[in-house]
Structure 1
């Protein structure tokens, strides 16, 4: 499956400007529930107009962090600043923040217009202003024909749009999105991701999304914070998270990855990686490489697969093995290659032999594969394609 690298906003990188002031600042935030530490001393800056994603598995603390910004939870330690103001003691309804819940939380007895208008009426806005604001939101999310319908008369995608319009109607400084697309089917979810990006760009607002869906975060976010056990593993733009993961955890959580354990050796000519699963030492490159135990991480799409051994070429690494499994996904074919010469008709004699996953684009209409099960094949890659991990 193709990987998208987020919105193309080449000039937008306030996090690289030492003079830029963040809109949201989490300062040494810790949150405990009894003896359980959900958030463990984290700090984070989010900037105005940024689309920021908190990404991680269930229970990693991402929703807890968002709920503290919304005011539904209070930090055990630390401060939360919004536009330079400490909002730790400000109640949720007085914060310039609005939250769109995963369940949408629409009122079933109200029609679309009344659902959107609810928060505005609670704030006591004049009737004419409420009507104008509701009309503006209906046009924004393209729901003008459905204004009189009740939630149970709408599709899942339409209910999602109503919830989004209601969240935006009060014009908050920050919109919080808690797994907003989880209830949508795959195709609609992908379409809505790009609509969210366009909407955020048009409104010039700051969006903070919580998700466990890696592709969703990669598509919509300017930056991603990968969370694990209440801490940040890495905070960076999507392309950097994918191409330059800092740890085995990040490499394995974002997309597909092959990880080979071994040893790095540095010398005057460069650096090499050796491992018991490799035929020979392979050339590697990277900044700050030092000799010692490490892992070599390689994305499946960066591998080449062939029946014939590739010619020795400077900067190219190669390993051999036998095809263990093949998957045809239409746009790509996936090859699972065991780093062994054993021909397996059933289960392999040594189940501990590593399996390398290679993804090859199907660039022609022919589906007959020149490479079949149990064929001996060679995998090769450029030395710049591998990432050395020490964590």
Structure 2
């Protein structure tokens, strides 16, 4: 029997599943306070060599503070940070085996591309032949050979971004820190650059740590994601696990689009759990065995793409089939999003998405249509809060 997994398997590399594997970067009970404000609260985290790791969260969640402590620009109030087995306490930023790429890129405007890349190498007094070899390697890696003699003002935003990346990589740090590196790029260029970053990281076999508030960016590039909120880790897992098996209502709501249905547990067994929605009194059957007790209030979280929608009305009493009325439709080209109202004005609103696989559709769903929405027993997850 084929092995099942949550979402697509990115690659065989998964050292976080090996209890004997030594972490490359480790935060041990790290707290950072700014006066009375606690930016990071007693946080512990392990990141492994060659991992592309993402710190994800909204503004003020502590992700950038965590990265700045690793880089040496901030000092922990308490706790320890280790990199490749070395306690970083007291080591200034310029002596740490890491390099940081900032959102602003911070290129030298009076220097050419190749001189920007070579700057740190010359500061380290490397032989001229080695500087030339590394600059050539970085130009090739970032596809900037033809722009080597240009200055930053003669480059596009994406090209300047690649110069900053090349300069950060040239010194061959043990870990590259990326602070919102793609925030200034337009959407299409950002998507292209995400895959370029992944390819570079794979080729160099380096450890990358990226800070971002863009969920799609984190899902695209990272081997694992740490979702942060108010200075704490909420969930650390692979992108597919974060998306398909969120451990809380916060994570489910923060990552992607989701339907959150408030419900009560009405029955439990080894085969799963039965729920009844609070607002609309429809029944839900799940194959998930929850640790919530009968009578407890929970949330049933289901992604819109896992909800099927069709014109008509349901057969009464059938679980996981819900009647609704279409009140809004968004056509996005490759896909459509349908919002349907269930019950009265205070009832649930469910979203369903589907791919537009045909150019012409006979009798399409439209506004005010009566529809039935349905989903499988394993489509959603039961969350306690």
Give the TM-score taking structure 2 as reference length: 0.94
Q: In the TM superposition, what whole-angstrom CA distance separates every residue of 1:289-345 from its partner, at most 9, and x where no partner exists?
A: 43211000010000001112356898x6111111110111111111010112x6xxx
Shift of 1:176: 0.3
2:221 and 2:193 map into 1 onto residues whose CA distance is: 10
Q: 1:271 aligns with which of 269, 273, 277?
A: 273
Shift of 1:204: 0.3
Number of the residue aligned with 1:383: 377
Aligned length in residues = 377
Number of the residue aligned with 2:3: none
Number of the residue aligned with 2:298: 294
Shift of 1:218: 0.2
**Structure 1 residue 281 corresponds to structure 2 residue 283:** yes
1:156 and 1:141 map into 2 onto residues whose CA distance is: 14
**Structure 1 residue 372 corresponds to structure 2 residue 376:** no
Does the 8 A contact of 1:7 with 1:197 survive in 2? no
Does the 8 A contact of 1:112 with 1:147 survive in 2? yes
Number of the residue aligned with 1:241: 242
Shift of 1:8: 5.4
Unmatched segments (≥5 aa) in structure 2: 1-5
Number of the residue aligned with 2:201: 200
SS in 2 for 1:158: helix
> In 2 relative to 1, CA 6–308 (structure 1 residues): closer, same or farther, beyond 3 Å?
closer
SS in 1 for 2:313: coil
Does the 8 A contact of 1:137 with 1:169 survive in 2? yes
Unmatched segments (≥5 aa) in structure 1: 343-349
When structure 1 is superposed on structure 2, of 180-189 and 270-279 the one drifting more is 270-279
1:319 and 1:46 map into 2 onto residues whose CA distance is: 43
Does the 8 A contact of 2:26 with 2:44 survive in 1? yes
> In 2 relative to 1, CA 366–279 (structure 1 residues): closer, same or farther, beyond 3 Å?
farther
> In 2 relative to 1, CA 270–223 (structure 1 residues): closer, same or farther, beyond 3 Å?
closer
Q: After superposition, where does 1:100-249 map in structure 2 within 5 Å?
A: 100-249=101-250
SS in 2 for 1:167: helix
**Structure 1 residue 362 corresponds to structure 2 residue 356:** yes
SS in 1 for 2:378: helix
Number of the residue aligned with 1:256: 257
Give the TM-score taking structure 1 as reference length: 0.93
Shift of 1:10: 2.7
> In 2 relative to 1, CA 289–307 (structure 1 residues): closer, same or farther, beyond 3 Å?
farther
